[in-house]
A and B are shown apart, each in its own frame.
Chain A
Amino acid sequence: MNRSALRAAVVIAAVYGHFLIFAQFAFVELLRIGGVSGAAEIVVLGTMAAAGVAGGFLAAWCGATPTGVRWALGVAGLSAALAPWVGGMAGALGVAVATGGALGVATVSLAALLPGWCGVAWVGLGTGLGYGCCNVPWVFTQTPAGQAWVAVGFAGVGLLAVPQGVAWRGSGRVAVFSWWGALGLFAALVWLDSAAFFIIQHVPDLKAGTWGDGLLWRNAGVHFAVAVGAGWWLARSGARVLPVVAWGLLAVAALAVDVAATRSLAGWGYPAGVSLYATALVAWPGWFTGADGPRSAAWQAARLFSVAGWLASANGIGMAQSLNRVPPIFVVAAGLVVIGVAVFSNKNPSLPAVMLTHFKRNRSLMAVAAVAVTVAVGFGRGKPPTQTAAARGRQVYLAEGCIHCHSQYVRPGSPDEAVWGAARAVDEALAGVPVLIGNRRQGPDLATVGARRSAAWLHAHFLNPQQLVPGSPMPSYAPLFADGRGEALIAYLQSTAIGWVNTCAGKAADWFPSKTATAGTPADGLRLFARLCSACHGEGGRGDGPLAAVLSKPPANLAAGPFLWTAGADSLELRISRVVKFGLPGTDMAGHEVLSDGEVLALTDYVRHLRKP
């Protein structure tokens, strides 16, 4: 294990982590919390950018050293620690100058020193770690103050990890693009990324579909995997093609995010594109500009990071301020610059020659690319628009794989009918496209669930299945209710049972427990009541369970009454048993269809016991 390289990767991760989670994120939120917004916010952020540019050129002028990196990380950590405590414009400007200046010194010094510490592949590992850590839910969802402390942690770890000494290896590196070409290329990528990020971050539906709750682990994984891959690719002559691929991924993401059907694609493409170019951006000054030592690499880094890093980022965000979609013209403009540089600013050999060589050497990569392009072209085609909530809910039923745990087929003449309802005509079961009969039951059949369970019950069950069915293996589907999918799914489940309410009620009225069934002990009834009934009816049966408030009508007070369902010619025991077994179709009272007759009778005895004065 190359310890110096590993330390270098940790420092990269620390600097990226601090920059992403604090300078780009938490600091802006802290400003707003402190009342610094609007024009004042722009002044503060502009000051931070100016300090960053100044810090970068200062590092280049003084010379990049490990000590300089340590000092810069120390100041960056200190400014993050102070940020939650300072108030007013003066304090904000102080933090902005300290943060910008420290990050300017740290980034330029680091980029210049890296070739002396590690190979270019390690840059991918460091970048991936930095981006990955920032997308870990615990970090991403922290309060701004909490994120500032995370940034302090990043700075501290980075400070301790800075390797000793500099042993710049090799000389005579060849510039991949001219310096102005690299400047324009990375400026275009950062500009497009910043604009797209700002728009997605501030438009709720775009944010929910790309890096909303539940997607953060995925994003962390994509960032890490792609950045590591980018390092590997850069180490294998990928520098000429990588920026174009990064633009392609960002372009696909920026265009896909505008359409609901393809929005999830953006969630994959955006972090992948960002990680590709972010890795290249760190590595570029040291490995791909023709720099022959830390000093010349530092000047290259100062130039590149000031224009591409600070100015392009600010410009991209500024131009996106009033937009709620990523304009295609942004994508095209960035593409013209990136591809133009890749084609015309290339040192010999030319891009076509390089691509031909790549093609011959990397047939597998080309074959994979052909498949990927085919997938991208075919993406989202042929999908019928879904208009009604029930139709959208059917799509959700499919997407969530409900079919792998639930059937929608009551077998005629089988015990299914006694539990799940009467069998439908097979033509009706086969009418849907696709057919949703299913082949496995980890849970109940859902063919007539809409008649057996109310919308309110289904909603509560989707949020926390174990509250209604303790020990159920069904996961929570709470995220579905953040964007309307949950409501659509309930609409679909309810629609499958149109006309079945009366059938279910009639079946309940005709049911009698087996004559051989025995009720068991009172303890059995208590245990069943606590497990299956208390969530709604409360432990004492007074209708005050924790779920009572979410039902459309308060649950019955079983200790008091009177009860609508007590009317009728049959005995009270039988009528209670029928409600226990089948619920009250059309109301929130759910049945317990799968209980044995003995268990139903035990519950019946317990409920009767509750009614006694």
Chain B
Amino acid sequence: MMIEARGLVRTFKTKRGPVQAVQGVDLDVADGEIVGFLGPNGAGKTTTMRMLATLIQPTAGIATVAGCDLAKDPVGVRRGIGYVPQSGSTLPEAIAGDEVVDHARLYGVPKAKATAEGQRLFEELDLPGLWRRQCKTLSGGQRRRLDIVMGLIHDPKLIFLDEPTTGLDPQARANLWEHIRGLRDRGATIFLTTHYLDEADALCDRILVIDHGKIVAAGTPENLKQQVSGDAVRLSIADTSQAPAVMKIVRELEGAVEVETEDAVVGFRIPRGGSVLPGLLRSIDAQGIELHGVEVHRPTLDDVFLTMTGRSLRDEDATGTEEKKESAA
């Protein structure tokens, strides 16, 4: 196990009294996995990651990270991990290569080796010719990749990435995903936080869904989606008055749930929707009912989140931003 945490709790003191940001998190990450921590803003993702990276002390709980005990040997943990924070890790005025080499030297890497390794990582992470450039002259995507170079320079076995693609354009995001997969292929274990469903889905071997400081679901993306009761099917009927007849046919299907109608659309959920569809369409046709269209949606991680918490991750995200604005005002 690369990470083994039990009962992690973190309480922050605020003016309004103590706030439990993380309320008893257990988690296991195996060697060579990409594990994603998915949840809305303020769910406790970053706080948990900062505890595991020795940046803040847990209020309660124990953890072993990269083979070292978090409480007894934080320096050992630091040696084994790379941490790529959300906020960046280089000074805008500094020279990119200098920042990388100095960072490596704080890990005890000799200067010459740090330079060679840094320049190799610059090539690998698609930053050619930027070694002597001032950090502030790099694009958002380049700076994020520079942060990753900073996190990788001492060749850690475990890499923490905090919201790695936030603020990047779609192309830079897809490009960064490729690089992150590449790290795993080299044998590193990756633990990342994200509030993007597509990112968790595309990138992670396993997902931990966190909400209000607690893990509410864990599994592979496919696994989690299967926990949601089936695919969403929507039938658009040509003649609205025939909707009740369609509803009746749908209700007779085995496993169909959440059968609802809205004007000329009948919607429901059913496991393996694609394979049910041919038979269903034949029955509808046999009664002389004409359809305008059929849609089948595989469940998304948002459906998972909705099922687990009763709220949509997207909605939560929106309200989270509003709250932030309020507190800033």
A and B form one complex: no
Chain B residues within CB distance 8 Å of chain A: none
